[in-house]
Amino acid sequence: MRGARSAKWVTGAIVVALAASACGSGDDGSGGGSGLGYDATGKVIGESAEPQKGLIPSDTMEAIGHEVIGALWTGLIKTDPATGEIIYMNAESITTEDSRTWTVTLKDGWTFHDGTPVTADSYVKAWNWAAHIENNQQNSSWFSDIAGYADVHPAEGEPTAETMSGLKAVDEHTFTIELTQPLAYFNYKLEYNPFFPLPESFYEDPAAAAENPVGNGPYRFVSWEHNKFIDVEKWDEYQGPDAAQNEGVVFLNYADSDAAYQDLLSDNIDYVRQVSPNNLAKFEQDLGERAINLPYAAIQTVNFAFYTDQWKDIDVRVLQGLSMAIDRETITSTVLQGTRVPATGWVAKGVMGYEDGACGPYCTYDPETAEELIELGGGVPGNAISLQYNADGGHKEWVEAVCNSIRQAVGVECTSDAKPTFQEDLDARDNKQVKSMYRSGWGMDYPFNGNFLRDLYGTTSAGNKGGFSDKIFDELVAEADAAPTVEESAALYRAAEERLAETFPAIPLWYYEVQSGHSTKVDNVAFDLYGHPILTDITVTGR
């Protein structure tokens, strides 16, 4: 019996040890009186997730972090979601004579949340820091328009300077930006978060500042419990025109958008980022007047891989014909459940310079003309195409619907080419291994039509993955960039967009919309062109 008894002791000991470690590890986690760790009185509670990185404006590119940073910081400008016009925020004015040298004057009296003033240096120093290659900021290439960027961020080898020669602080509230070449709409880029200012305290320990960010925006950072929530509160000394109409925001972390939707229905959260696909059919019924359906500036296209034998010397009429073989109306209303709007051009709605109908007749469904065009153009080589997409992004259904539509309308054999993950999809695109065509999505970086054109279809643009090249388009782009005013630049870009209908580097499919809704406890919930909720406008009544 001795063996059995000692076995009893040992097992008992292990059980006690396991139990102790389970309890012990629990104690350090629970904080705060409510057990939740935040006080939601008067605050908006929204669906969010864990930001990919620490909260540094120049290092954040994905939507979640972008949203939080947008609450904590206010940059030089914002744009009106309805007209695309510039609204000056921290900037008093941004002027230029030649579209090359820009003078920024800041408003007086702005401070960071820690009380230090926002000066010209807060901008100049932050941009120099972010552009420097050794600081490894994901958005560093945003500064590549500025003179001297190549010295702090060389394509190869060591940097030869610490600061960019194109940035100069004139006095406490004025600084100048000199670009490498004229760019008429450079001021529009300044809305994006890499151009936000940083307080002096940031540079002492950037890693710590990323976990405890100090901005100059309408909300002040309170706490960040990783994988649970980020809590921000209204900042009373905020000087901007968009002061918060609520006491703060709690960004709650959700792994699953259906779970978030359930919590919206039971008023546990106040808005969802996007209604999950399984609830799309009934969300308007569930929420009634509280349902939200708003467009934002993003577009889905199908691009041709012009480096393949199939498309290398193709007649453009074949490409136009394929576009006309896609029944966008039916696919958006059935397969996509009304979450997208058929596209009529390559630029998404809402941005500066957007005009309806750049695609001309080629974006409307017309099987007979489509067949004719393809025939006139000499037919699709091999009479078969394939459409590459990533299987982890919910694209399967519509890709197959597009293929079906083409097959039925013009009799071209169309197959879907699924890559298991987004990474593999990107790898194939980056390495020019796409077999025929590929899905491509583009959300705007800044609300100007050139962002959808130059950065995707310019011969030397890094975003031009299909190997498209058109001299006339490139010339129009160069002309637009050098235009004396933003309006003229936008008009020239519009001409460049119309040129795309004659060369057809990609088939426009549809624009994106946000489907969301708000709880009974808040009001005034709307979404901006990035597809993010406009947090400062939300009013809270029941919390």
Query: Rule CB under 8 A: which residues touch other proteins?
Result: 1, 3-4, 6-8, 10-11, 14-15, 18, 21-22, 25-26, 29-30, 35-36, 52-54, 61-62, 133-134, 136-138, 140-141, 144, 153-156, 207, 226-228, 253-256, 258-260, 262-263, 265-266, 268, 392, 421-424, 426-427, 430, 440-443, 445, 455, 461-463
DSSP string, 157-205: S--S-SS-TTEEEEETTEEEEEBSS--TTHHHHTTSGGG----GGGGG-
Alpha carbons 302 and 315: distance in angstroms, whole number: 17
Alpha carbons 246 and 85: distance in angstroms, whole number: 26
Nearest to 490 by CA among 191, 95, 192, 184: 184
Cβ at position 33, least distance to other proteins in Å:
12
Cβ at position 493, least distance to other proteins in Å:
19
Cβ at position 464, least distance to other proteins in Å:
9
Whose Cβ is closer to other proteins: residue 208's or residue 472's?
208
Whose Cβ is closer to other proteins: residue 6's or residue 408's?
6
Whose Cβ is closer to other proteins: residue 51's or residue 84's?
51
Whose Cβ is closer to other proteins: residue 279's or residue 536's?
279
For the record, the structure tokens of 47 come out as 């669906």
Nearest to 538 by CA among 199, 218, 95: 218
Whose Cβ is closer to other proteins: residue 179's or residue 269's?
269
Whose Cβ is closer to other proteins: residue 97's or residue 285's?
285
DSSP string, 343-357: -SSSSPTTSBT--TT
Cβ at position 337, least distance to other proteins in Å:
20
What radius of gyration, in Å, describes the C-alpha atoms of the chain? Answer: 26
Cβ at position 305, least distance to other proteins in Å:
16
Compute the Cα dihedral for 88, 91, 96, 99 and give only its sign: negative
Strand 291-304 versus strand 437-443 pairing type? antiparallel
Whose Cβ is closer to other proteins: residue 434's or residue 501's?
434
Cβ at position 30, least distance to other proteins in Å:
5
The strand ranges marked E within 359-408 are 384-390
Alpha carbons 128 and 543: distance in angstroms, whole number: 43
Cβ at position 195, least distance to other proteins in Å:
16
Cβ at position 182, least distance to other proteins in Å:
22
Consecutive H or E run containing 103? strand 101-106
Whose Cβ is closer to other proteins: residue 82's or residue 207's?
207
Nearest to 68 by CA among 186, 184, 226, 297: 226
Contact (CB, 8 A) for 143 and 194: yes
Q: 500 phi and psi, to 5 degrees? A: -65, -25
Cβ at position 349, least distance to other proteins in Å:
19
Whose Cβ is closer to other proteins: residue 25's or residue 356's?
25
